[in-house]
Structures are given as C-alpha cells and as structure tokens.
Amino acid sequence: PARHFDTKTTEPISFFLSGLEELLAWQPDSNDDFNISAVPLAKRQPPLHSRRPRTLVCHDMRGGYLEDRFIQGSATRNPYVFYHWRYIDIFIYFSHHTVTIPPVCWTNAAHRNGVPVLGTFITEWKDGEKLCEAFLAAGAEAYRAVAEQLARIAQHYRFDGWLVNIENTLSAGAVGNLPPFLRHLTAQVHSAVPGGLVIWYDSVLQNGALRWQNELTEENRVFFEACDGLFTNYNWKEEHLERTRALAGPRHDDVYVGVDVFARGDVIGGGFDTDKSLRLIRQHGLSAAIFAPGWVYEHLGEENFLHNENKFWSSLAEYLPTHSICTLPLATSFSLGMGTSRFLDGKEEEAGPWYDLSAQEIQPLYPEHKGRLSTSCCLQDAWCGGSSLRVQGTIPAGEEHMAIRLFSLQMPAPPKLFLTLLYKLEGPNPEEFTVALELTTWDSGTCHEGNITSLPAEPNGRHHPRFLPAPPPGLAKLLATCDRGSHGWTSRCYELDLQDCSLRDLSLLVSCHQPSPREMPFTCLLGEVRVLDAATLAASPPEVQSLSASQLWWQ
C-alpha cells in the first residue's frame, strides 16, 4: 500500500493521516511493523516531571516527511540531524497534516537519548472548522472516539503523546466540548503510554475565537488546566511572562514559552540572538519551546551545518539545564546517524553519503569554551558508524592536563567498573600527550576507592581508573580491543573499584608529559567509550527465543 511503501522504490516509509475519516478508520496493520519504534525511552535524571524549567524543541521543516521518512535510511548528502539531546526535555515533530505521526527514526534517536517524542494533531482554516464541528460539536461519543484513536496510535507506534493545535474559530457547541475532549485525551494517553504527555498550543479562547495570547490568560487557562502543558505563541514581551508566571502558580514549568528561531513577527531574539529570549524566559522560571531550530540548516545552508549547529546550541547552553545518564551500560561510538562513509573497526567499509537517524548513538554533552575547547563531529574518520567525536583544546602554559566533560551521570556506582576507550591523536606532535578517562563521584564521607583499607578518594572525588594491559579472564571476547588498536586508533581498557559512591561525570583527560612554559594545543578523535558494570558482564546474556522474520524482499 502506498501509505506504507514508497511508490518509486517500494521501501518502507513513515506517514501521516489526513482528515477525520482517515483518523477514525486507522487500525493496526501488519505493514506497520517498520513504523513501530524499536527503542524504549531511556531513563534519565532528573525525570521529566521534576519541578524545574524544561526545554521543548518543535521541529518543523519544509512540511515534514522529507528524507527522514525512509525508515531504512537513504543516501542523502548533508541531511538535517539533531544531536543536542542532553540539553532538551521534549521533542515534537510538527507538520500541517491533520495527524502527524513522528517518523520512527526520530522516535528511535530521541528515545535512545532519553527524550520523549510527541506527534501533532492540528486543525486549521475552513477545513479545520468543519472537522471540529464534526468531532467536537457532535458530542461526547464523537470526541471520545477521536481521543481514544489518538491515544491508540501513540501506543501502537510507541511515541509519547500529542501537541494539540486548534487554529480555527469554533462554534459555541464545539468549544464547550474542547476541555472535556482534552481531559479525556490526556487521561487516555497517560494510561496507554507510560510517561505520556498532551500539550496545548495557545490559539483559540474559551469563547471559540481564534486569538493568540502569547501568554497564559483567563481566556485560555481552561485548556491549560485540562492537559499537561501550554505552548505559547511567539509574540510576547516581558510583561506577558510576568503575568503568565503569576497566573500559572505552582505549574509555571508546564508553560512552554514559544521562541521562533526564524524570528517571524514582533519577537525578542531568534537566530543567533535566541539566547536573549531564553534569558528572559528563565528569569521568570518558565519552560521554553524552541520552534524550528532547523533555521540553522535552512537559513545558513547545508554545507557548514554541523559547525553552525554547534555554535547555535552552545550559545544557548547557559539557559539549558542538562540531563544525566542514570543506567549502565553506557556505550557509544558518537555516530550522528549520518555520514559521508561507513566505518567498521577504524576502517572505511563503504564510501558514499548515508542518513539513518535510527542508527544515531548516545550523544554526549558538547562542551565549548571560547578559544580553549571545542567538541564537534568528525565525518572524515571514525571507529564505527559514520563519525567520531573531535575534541580540540589547549592546555594552558604551566598546566599538566585538561579534563573534558563528556557525560553527566547520576547513579550509585557498582563495586567494580570496566571502562574502554578508543582514540586517535592528531596534529603535529601527538607523542607529547597521553589520553585517559576520569570518573568523578559526588562528594560524600563514605565514598572511597578499592577495598575498605585503601585510602579515600581525592577530596574532589576524581578517580583515575587503573589501566589494564590485557582483558581480565572471561571477558576477553567483550573487551577484545584492550590491547589492539587498528588503522591508527589506540585502544585502552581500565578498571575501577568503588565503595559507597555515586557517579557524577565521565570526562576525557588529556595530559602533557610535563608542564610546558607555552600553551599546548591538541586534537583528539574519540571513536568509542564504554562504561560497564562488571557484575552484569559476568552473567551470561539471555538467549534469544522464537525469532521470526517477515516483510522480506530479496534483491
């Protein structure tokens, strides 16, 4: 069927639904299997419902369902990717189709990095008015059927809920049923999808008029109270934020203040001035909804996209509370889900562009310190996948090392950890540097390294895992790369014993052999990092049972 498969290539594709009839007629179908997310939502700290200002990203690009619709990837040169997942809380896939089901590759990439994904339910213009009459004004049975279908769709494709965007005027009969519709949808989504969400876009008022408020008001509050959050329109000033904060009360972090990166209309900030909007939003303790950050790609061009993307997000980093990983194992080769080649074990296996966000790996923090440190993606060389992480920095004169924070962690440390690292030093004199991993723990009186008789950890909780020249017995297969690099990559294994500790940060430690009177610039590519709990490695993995294959097409 054309909905599920591309008519030119027959490849499986992601799709949307148009109109009320298609929504109500939808039911699970065996052709759907490709569209069901295969990656469960990873746990992270702090969890979404904690009371702190959040950051939502709403992705709206050229009508949606571009190359990202190809579920098994495509040979796209310079595609759009998003990878600053550590800095955001919620990802919305937006289009102007009635029911926007997020392409499964986005759900997979976001979930792997702990971010929930929402689809969009939108009605607009004259057609929208008719649609709303048909399902809202018609009464409880009709609007409950729509709510239940939307919840079923999210549950079936394993994404996390909906943005509801009613952008047309409503009759008295329709608007009267809108709050009970939202309440029913929210209840259904909560019960069908663990951690599910419904967010309302600031558009119609309780009298049915279409009038964007740019804030929470007495006129739109009834919709905010019926669901999990309000996404405001973009043309606000500081007084709007003050009034919103006062009216929202304890739910102020459920108000996502809209920021249009394209800066359309009378807005504060946008483009590389988006930080101005965020500064004000955070001063009032509100959450932010960053709309169309694809501006970086669409406006500044595809060629220099990765450089500009890092510049854009690092300009906002001060206002974006980050998230910590809270489960082991942690393993990543930093691949963005795209590349100009495919690499395996440090060797180029296949040249040519590729794009598949489902293959994106866990993404790190991307720390930047002007003039002293930058982290970016390197497409020219990788250990596995399409890219490695390039860390460029300068060790100041007279200092011995520099620690580059890759991941924030928040979990109890197991008694024994194994860590592995694959790296490649570039530049004129790589022999002047050594590279290792550093783990920090939260400062507590009880935490110490090794067994009970060994000394407590350094007071700042910095731990330097012991280098293992060869893998320990029984783990030779998993840690086979301990002592062998290849194609210029160096491989290292480490172990660390901790007691009563809580993990805090994983950093890359770059040192020079002795302090130098001059600054020491370095470039290091990271190909893979793993942090493993020794106890779970010792247990044999469960056997795969009852494997079946379907939808095969041999070429």
Q: What is the pLDDT of residues 342-371, one digit of tens each?
A: 999 999 999 999 999 999 999 999 999 888
Integer Cα distance of 496 and 413 in angstroms: 10
Predicted pLDDT at 541 = 78
Integer Cα distance of 163 and 159 in angstroms: 12
**pLDDT > 70: percent of the chain:** 96
Q: Where in the chain is the domain with CATH 2.60.120.260?
A: 330-445+459-536
CATH of domain 16-23+53-323: 3.20.20.80
pLDDT above 50 (res 136): yes
Closest CA to 357 of 141, 8, 51, 59: 59
Phi, psi (deg, nearest 5) at residue 253: -80, 0
Integer Cα distance of 79 and 354 in angstroms: 9
pLDDT above 80 (res 38): yes
pLDDT above 70 (res 484): no
Cβ-proximal residues to 236 (8 Å cutoff; 6+ apart), any chain = 214, 215, 257, 258, 267, 268
User: For domain 330-445+459-536, which architecture applies?
Assistant: Sandwich (2.60)
Least confident of 237-241, 321-325, 439-443, 521-525: 439-443
Structure tokens at 272: 């590389």
Q: Are 253 and 199 in contact (CB under 8 A)?
A: no
Q: What is the dihedral of CA 274, 279, 285, 288, to 10 degrees?
A: 10
DSSP symbols for 130-172: HHHIIIIIT-HHHHHHHHHHHHHHHHHHT--EEEEEEES---H
Predicted pLDDT at 280 = 97
Predicted pLDDT at 138 = 93
Q: Where in the chain is the domain with CATH 3.20.20.80?
A: 16-23+53-323
Average pLDDT of span 328-336: 96
HSE, side-chain direction, 13 A CA sphere, residue 86: 21
Structure tokens at 18: 């148009």
Instruction: Kindly calculate the radius of gyration of the chain based on its CA atoms and give it in whole angstroms.
Output: 25
